Amino acid sequence: MTSCFDGSMIDRPDAGRRRFVAGAPLAAMMLAGAVRAQTPAAYAAPPRGAANAKRIALRFGTSYVGVQPMTKPVRDILDKFQADYPNVSIAVEATAGNDHQTKIKLDASADRVPDFFNYWRLDPGFGLDQIARAGRLADLTAWTREDPHFKGLFDDSSWRTATLDGKVYGVPLLMFYVQFLANKAVFDRAGVALPTDWASLNTAVKALKSKGELPWAISIGNDSQGGRIYNYVVNRTVGNERAMRMHGGLEPINVPEMVRAMEMLRDLVVGYAPDDAIAIKNEVVYAKYVNANRGGLILDGSWVTAQIKPEIQKDLVVLEFPLIPGGFQKEPNVERDLTTLLYMSSKAMADADKRPYVVEIVRRLTARDAGRVYSEEAKAPIPMLGVPVDDEKYGRIPREANAIALRNPANKWIPSAMKPDQRAKFEPLLGEFLAGKHEPARFVEQLGRIFGG
C-alpha cells in the first residue's frame, strides 16, 4: 500500500517500497510524457544537441547557495539541461537569504532582471508586485493555461498565489504550511489527554500548567510562533478572506468578532508560554524547550522539523488545529501558501531565441520528478500534486503534516496583507498582548489604528 498526502491509499505492484503521493493519484504523473507532444508550438521544447544550434546565454538568479538544501537538486537539473543543450550556458547569480531580495530589486531598477529566477510571493512585503506592475516580469498566463505540463500539477490556492491583477507571473516551486504538534511524553508525564477539539485544547493548556509542565513551546515576539496561533484563531473566527481584508485596511477590524477572537486567544495563550517568550528568537525555542523535552504543544512552520531531535520527534503527534464553536470556519483550514516560485523576465519571454530554452528549464525545475527530489533530498514541502515520495526518506512528521495541509483548504498568512510599516507596528503590539499587557478590547482598538478600522 502507498500512503498519500491527502490521506488516501493506493495499491501499487511495487508495494515492497513504501511511498506516499502528494495530493493527486499516481496516474497524474503520466501526464507530462503523454501530453508533451500536444504542447503548443510557441512553448515546445527545442531539439536537443543540435550541432548548429545558436549559442544562448541565460542568467539564473537564485537564493540557493552553499549548503542550502535546494542548492544541489537545482544545480543538478541545470547541469543536465546544459548537457542536453550544449549551446546554452547558464550563469548562476546566487545571493543568500534576504540579500536575494535586494539583488532582484536592484536588477529590476536597472532593467536587467535575470532571465529566470526563484523568489518569494508577490506580496507587497517582498516588493515583487511593483516589479511585475512595472512590466519587468513575464506574463505567464497563456503559457500556464495552454501547456499540458501544468494540467493537474498545482491546486487553485497555488495558482492564486502566483497571480497578481488577474495575471499569472510565477510558477510554484516550494510551499510551506503551519503544523500543529503535541509532545505525547509531556502530556503523559502530566497525565493529561491529548486535545481533540477547542474545549479540550483549552482544558489541556490549563491542566499542563497545573502539573508544572509548560503548555506552549513558543516565542511571542516579532514574526513568532505566537503570531501563527493568532492567525489560526482569527481565521477560525472571522474567516481567512475577511481576516485578509481587515489586516489589509479594506474592512474595519475593530469589530465585536475580533474582540471575541482575542478573548479566546488570551485564554489559550496568555500565561501559558515560556517566561522569556517575548525575548527569545524562534529557533531558541527548539534548543531551550522542545529539544529539552519541555512544552506540550508546538505550532510552527513546516521548515522547523529538522531542528527537532529524533528522540523528541518519536513522541510528537501531528494534530489539526481545532474549529472554534460559533466561528466562521465550519471545516478545518490550514495556513498554507507558496514560499518560493519561479519567475521569468519579460525580455526573456519576448526573445524568440531565449524563450524555448527558458520555458523548458522552468518546466524541468517544476516537474513532478523534480518535486520528488526536492522532497527526498532537500526535505522541502512541495506544491506539486501526484508526486510519489519515499516516506522513509521524508519522515513521519512531514508526511502526516503534509497530509493535513493538502487535504484541507488553504489559509493565507495574515501578515502578507499588511504593508511593511503596518507589520512593523503590529508584531510588537501582538507580542505585548500575548504577554498579558493589553485587554482584548483595548488591543483590537489599537489594531484599528494600525489598519484603519
Q: pLDDT per residue over 280-328, tens digit each? A: 999 999 999 999 999 999 999 998 898 999 999 999 999 999 999 999 9
**Does pLDDT of 10 surpass 50?**
no
Q: Identify the pLDDT of residue 25.
A: 37
Q: Identify the pLDDT of residue 201.
A: 98
Asked, colleague to colleague, whether 2-176+336-408 and 177-333+411-451 share their fold, the answer is yes
For residues 396-407, average pLDDT: 89
Which listed CATH number (3.40.190.10, 3.30.365.10, 3.40.30.10, 3.40.50.2300) goes with 2-176+336-408? 3.40.190.10
CA dihedral sign of residues 227, 232, 236, 239: positive
Contact by Cβ (8 Å): 302, 177 = yes
Q: Identify the pLDDT of residue 33.
A: 41
* SS3 of residue 417 by DSSP: helix
Q: Identify the pLDDT of residue 449.
A: 97
Tell me the per-residue pLDDT of 238-280, one tens digit each, with 9 for 90 and over: 999 999 999 999 999 999 999 999 999 999 999 999 999 999 9
**Does pLDDT of 190 surpass 90?**
yes
Q: Identify the pLDDT of residue 151.
A: 95
For residues 214-225, average pLDDT: 95
**Does pLDDT of 174 surpass 70?**
yes
**More confident call, 341 vs 13:** 341
Q: What is the pTM of this model?
A: 0.79
The residues pairing with 317 across neighbouring beta strands, listed in sequence order, are 182
* SS3 of residue 69 by DSSP: coil
Mean pLDDT of the chain: 90
Query: Beta strand 410-411 with 334-344: parallel, antiparallel or unpaired?
Result: parallel
For residues 105-109, average pLDDT: 97
Radius of gyration of the chain (CA): 23
What confidence category does residue 402 fall into, taking pLDDT thresholds of 50, 70 and 90? confident
Q: Identify the pLDDT of residue 453.
A: 61
What confidence category does residue 39 fall into, taking pLDDT thresholds of 50, 70 and 90? low
**Does pLDDT of 195 surpass 70?**
yes
Q: What proportion of the chain, given as a percentage, has pLDDT over 90?
A: 78
Distance CA 260, CA 243 (A): 14
- The domains of the chain are located at 2-176+336-408, 177-333+411-451
**More confident call, 79 vs 52:** 79
Contact by Cβ (8 Å): 195, 272 = no
**Does pLDDT of 438 surpass 90?**
yes
Cβ neighbourhood burial of 426 (10 Å; 0-12, 13-18, 19+): buried
DSSP output for 75-136: HHHHHHHHHH-TTEEEEEEE--TTHHHHHHHHHHHTT---SEEEE--S-GGGTHHHHHHTT-
Q: Identify the pLDDT of residue 129.
A: 95
**Does pLDDT of 392 surpass 90?**
no
**Does pLDDT of 50 surpass 80?**
no
37 Cβ contact partners less than 8 Å away, ≥ 6 residues apart: none
**Does pLDDT of 5 surpass 70?**
no
Residue 315 C-alpha cell reads as 513522541
Dihedral pair phi/psi, residue 176, rounded to 5°? -135, 160
Distance CA 265, CA 249 (A): 22
For residues 9-32, average pLDDT: 38
Q: Identify the pLDDT of residue 403.
A: 86
Q: Identify the pLDDT of residue 47.
A: 86
Distance CA 287, CA 420 (A): 30
For residues 191-217, average pLDDT: 98
For residues 143-157, average pLDDT: 94
Q: Identify the pLDDT of residue 38.
A: 59
Which listed CATH number (2.60.40.3080, 3.30.1390.20, 1.10.10.10, 3.40.190.10) goes with 177-333+411-451? 3.40.190.10
